[in-house]
Amino acid sequence: MQDIKGQNYFTTLKGFGSVMDVWPLGDYSQFIPNADRSSMISVYWSNLHGYFDAALNKHAQLKSQNGNGLQ
């Protein structure tokens, strides 16, 4: 977008997108969980712990098979 007029048009469109984020057209409350935030964060970290455990176990298994853990 080299030309100034086109650049202004693009900037204006980006501005409209920002306004739509602040003023959405629909009601998104149905997509927000009803649980309190601290319990949702706790579940997130518990899941993350499981993902790390699985990755570390897979790495250890590959390392013992291949000698370096890489395929």
12 domain residue, yes or no: yes
53-64 tens-digit pLDDT = 999 999 999 888
Structural domain count, the chain: 1
16 domain residue, yes or no: yes
Q: Return the pLDDT at 52.
A: 95
71 domain residue, yes or no: no
Tokens of 41: 């964060």
18 domain residue, yes or no: yes
43 domain residue, yes or no: yes
Element at 61 (helix H, strand E): helix 37-66
Q: Return the pLDDT at 66.
A: 81
- Structural domain that includes position 60: 4-66
29-51 tens-digit pLDDT = 888 788 888 998 999 999 999 99
25 domain residue, yes or no: yes
DSSP reduced 3-state for 71: coil
